[in-house]
Amino acid sequence: MKSLEEDELCFPHLLNSSCKKTMRPHFESLLTYILLSSISLLTVTLNLLVIISISHFRQLHTPTNLLLVSLAVSDFFVGLIVFFQIMLLDGCWFLGDLMCIFYTFLLYIITCASVGDMVLISVDRYVAICEPLHYANKVTQKRVKICVCLCWTCSAFLLTLLLEDHLKEPGRNNSCFGECVIVINYIAGLADLFFTFIGPVTVIIVLYMRVFVVAVTQARAMRSHAAVLPLKFSLTITAKKSEVKAARTLGVVIVVFLMCICPYYCVSLSGQDTFLNVSSATIVIFVFYFNSCLNPLIYAFFYPWFRKSMKLIVTLKILQPGSCEQNLL
């Protein structure tokens, strides 16, 4: 059998046990590195701006924005994880089995938490639009914080159960040095698919269909009665329009999220193990990660308060005394 050349191996000094690199054209490799690096830097920067904005300015301390902070935190970590993904482009993992488990564990927790945040956002908009009189009592900052903490905790617990064998024996499925392969059994895979994709996505779609129907009905009612309502009801109309606009904006976030994660889960449903197969999974992974970069761009497009807060942060005016009381709405 002809021996492999050293530059084709992940670990040239381990000729008999090293994994082989995925050899690709130089231009393709360079373009992929540039794209992933740009996505990583942009994702980290934009989501950090979201976190700072909502955390610093008291006017933005609303239950809905707390959910956006949780989503921004998960997206921020996705930006950091992209750096790990860059190392896998040539099919080699150089950080060892423990870091492989940590990388996979963190990626799965972030994904689960993001899906959970989307469910919570859908519930928040459902109550705001469909039960507006009870919104202030049902959706409080304390309850939202508890729900967010439960979301992250349950994600970690679920993944601990799924990856229990790998946590006990890292690298158990690796066939050579330089691999980062995580395999879960069929039953666990079905449970993961249901709890992190099928179930949450069903809830999101059902809730937002209801929100859409009610929002359209309310919008028509407001337009038809706008001319005859007394002036004292104008604030109520404005408030309802604000809630509908927020529902529309967050609806865009959810739709974009579903469009970005569906290709990844479609691969999972097909039963093909292509997660680390660079040639077949590059586009899927690119779309999957790019969603975390899109969310802040959606906020910047739809939310004037985010554009104002970014300007204050970039110009360092948030360092001035009393800047947290700035009016952004």
CATH fold for the domain made of 26-223+231-321: Rhopdopsin 7-helix transmembrane proteins (1.20.1070)
pLDDT computed for residue 149 by the predictor: 93
Rounded CA separation 2/20 (Å): 14
Strand partners, 18: 177
Q: What are the CA-CA distances from residue 156 to residues 11, 151, 167 (Å)?
A: 33, 9, 13
User: Count of residues for the chain?
Assistant: 329
Rounded CA separation 226/239 (Å): 14
Rounded CA separation 35/59 (Å): 36
Across 207-231, b (16+ Cβ under 10 Å) vs e yields bbeebeebbeebeeebeeeeeeeee
The closest of 216, 295, 290, 302 to 254, measured between CA atoms, is: 295
The closest of 295, 290, 271, 261 to 85, measured between CA atoms, is: 290
Query: What pTM was computed for the model?
Result: 0.82
Rounded CA separation 168/60 (Å): 43
Rounded CA separation 273/175 (Å): 15
Q: Which tokens go with 255?
A: 């739709």
Burial class (CB in 10 A: 0-12, 13-18, 19+), 298: middle
Using the structure block, give the residue that is written with the tokens 């999220």: 257
Write the DSSP symbol of residue 95.
S
Q: Give SS3 for 104.
A: helix
Q: Rounded to 5 degrees, what are φ and ψ at 97?
A: -70, -35
pLDDT values of the chain reduced to their tens digit, one per residue, 329 residues: 445 455 677 777 776 777 777 777 777 778 878 888 888 888 899 999 999 999 988 888 889 899 999 999 998 998 888 777 777 767 777 777 888 888 888 888 888 888 889 889 889 888 888 888 888 888 899 999 999 999 999 888 888 887 777 777 777 777 777 777 777 777 777 777 788 888 888 888 888 888 877 777 766 666 665 555 554 445 455 555 666 666 677 778 888 888 887 777 776 666 554 444 444 556 777 777 788 888 888 887 778 888 888 888 988 888 888 888 888 87
Q: Are 182 and 155 in contact (CB under 8 A)?
A: no
pLDDT computed for residue 1 by the predictor: 44
Q: Are 73 and 81 in contact (CB under 8 A)?
A: no
Alpha helices in the chain (DSSP H): 26-56, 63-87, 96-130, 135-138, 141-162, 164-168, 186-193, 199-225, 234-270, 278-302, 304-314
Write the DSSP symbol of residue 272.
-
- List the chain domain ranges: 26-223+231-321
Q: What are the CA-CA distances from residue 92 to residues 38, 53, 89, 231, 321 (Å)?
A: 21, 38, 7, 67, 50
Q: Are 253 and 295 in contact (CB under 8 A)?
A: yes
Q: Rounded to 5 degrees, what are φ and ψ at 181?
A: -115, 125
